[in-house]
Amino acid sequence: MRPKAIKSIKKDHLQTVLKQFSPISLDQLNSTMSLMERIDKKYILTMPQLDEMMDKLKDDYYVLTIKDISLFSYDNVYMDTEDYLLYYQHEYKDATRMKVRTRHYVDSSLSFLEVKHKEGDVTRKFRYQIPVDQAQMITPDAQEYYARIGESFNSGFIRKPLSPAIATRYQRITLCSKKNDERITIDLDISVKDMRDAKAARHHLPSFAIVESKSNNTSCASHTTIKAMGVQEAKGCSKYCLGVYYVGKAKTHDSFIETIEVIESFRPRKLKKIVKRVKSTLRQLKKQTTTIAKELAMKSPAKKIVTKKVVAKKVAVKKTTTKKRAKV
């Protein structure tokens, strides 16, 4: 079942916007720049802000298009140690951090094992293709691949076994600068799931866009455009780390508080409706409870006895008063 958030994203409108960009094929995109070593910057945009950004970039960027499709579905599964070591590397802002995930491209039915190593502002990405049936697990070969990369950078690497931790699902648009100096990914319709709880439901985030610039410099067109819109770079905007928080597995999340507050600010109308509905329901329940309580009280034997005594007392008082008047 598709999440309700997709309605607010207005897919038809998005497709119309994307048609204003010149298309680029996957082969052409891969031949422009590998970006396996790059500078990453992330921004969180509302849908109107995304519209504004797209309108300003449409003449200077290509959009990845495969078989007339430019909005692609991704299923990722992030791996971590039992005690979430990789999550806390990000939470505690370690100088060197790593991520391990499987990525499944739903539309092309291709899967990869990916390892990301970040040191300072520089991100290095390593990956190899895996069978689709391994897209939600980590094999011994994948574990060893991750360990060797970690050890090769000699960055206090800890060799601990990994297992599936968080699943993320979203839709992505990919733009490529015509100057060949930047690639932009735009992630929408994001949901997360706890892979360590068999009964866990998928948690859908509000409607917003995570825009990520991947480039070899810090002065690309998207940076200038987004900053001119008054949007600051988002710190602590990892979909994996947000997933750990939203499924309730993060003991601390100080590095992500600002991002979480921004994301939650996109819920106000929905929350107001829920609060209003809950208050209305509580009022109705209170009324019903009072009515039922009165009915039960009237039906109870104790109430009947009390009522009879009161009536008898009134009658006795009335008789006494009548006799006194008669004597007079």
Specify the range with the lowest mean pLDDT, choosing from 202-211, 251-260, 301-310: 301-310
Task: Give, for 12, the enclosing helix (H) or strand (E).
Answer: helix 11-18
CB 239 within 8 Å of CB 187: yes
CATH architecture label of 5-266: Beta Barrel (2.40)
- With pLDDT > 70 as the criterion, what percentage of the chain qualifies? 82
User: What are the tens digits of pLDDT across the range 245-267?
Assistant: 999 999 999 999 999 999 999 88
Start-end of H helices in 112-198: 140-152
What residues have CB less than 8 Å from 150, skipping those under 6 apart?
A: 98, 117, 157, 159
- Secondary structure class of 96 (helix, strand, coil): strand
- With pLDDT > 90 as the criterion, what percentage of the chain qualifies? 60
Indicate if the pLDDT at residue 241 is higher than 90. Answer: yes
Indicate if the pLDDT at residue 317 is higher than 60. Answer: no
Q: Which residue has the higher pLDDT, 212 or 11?
A: 212
Tokens of 186: 């735009």
CB 42 within 8 Å of CB 125: no
Q: In whole angstroms, what is the distance from residue 256 CA to residue 275 CA?
A: 26
Q: In whole angstroms, what is the distance from residue 142 CA to residue 314 CA?
A: 90
What 94-97 contacts at long range (C-beta under 8 Å, 24+ apart), as own/partner pairs, is 95/119, 95/120, 95/155, 96/153, 96/155, 96/156
pLDDT at 321: 58
Q: How many residues does the chain have?
A: 328
Q: Residues 267-284: what's their mean pLDDT?
A: 67
Please state the pTM of the whole predicted model. Answer: 0.76
Specify the range with the lowest mean pLDDT, choosing from 14-23, 173-182, 220-229, 266-275: 266-275
Instruction: Using alpha carbons, select from 220, 175, 225 the residue that is nearest to residue 20.
Output: 175
Instruction: Using alpha carbons, select from 7, 206, 192, 221 the residue that is nearest to residue 101.
Output: 192
pLDDT at 273: 63
Instruction: Using alpha carbons, select from 191, 303, 305, 308 the residue that is nearest to residue 246.
Output: 191
Q: In whole angstroms, what is the distance from residue 293 CA to residue 290 CA?
A: 5
Indicate if the pLDDT at residue 303 is higher than 80. Answer: no
pLDDT at 271: 55
Specify the range with the lowest mean pLDDT, choosing from 3-7, 54-58, 166-170: 3-7
Q: Which residue has the higher pLDDT, 77 or 31?
A: 77
Q: In whole angstroms, what is the distance from residue 119 CA to residue 128 CA?
A: 21
Q: Residues 34-41: what's their mean pLDDT?
A: 74
pLDDT at 129: 97
Specify the range with the lowest mean pLDDT, choosing from 3-12, 171-180, 287-296: 3-12
pLDDT at 4: 39
Q: pLDDT averaged over the chain?
A: 86
Q: Residues 56-67: what's their mean pLDDT?
A: 95
Q: How many CA atoms lie within 13 A of 82 on its CB side?
A: 3
Question: Helices 268-299 and 301-327 meet at what angle, rounded to 10?
Answer: 60
Instruction: Using alpha carbons, select from 72, 136, 135, 78 the residue that is nearest to residue 108.
Output: 72
User: What are the tens digits of pLDDT across the range 85-142?
Assistant: 999 999 999 989 999 999 999 999 999 999 999 988 888 999 999 999 999 999 999 9
**pLDDT band per the 50, 70, 90 thresholds, residue 2:** very low
Instruction: Using alpha carbons, select from 78, 30, 76 the residue that is nearest to residue 174.
Output: 30
Q: Residues 65-85: what's their mean pLDDT?
A: 96
Q: Residues 290-301: what's their mean pLDDT?
A: 75
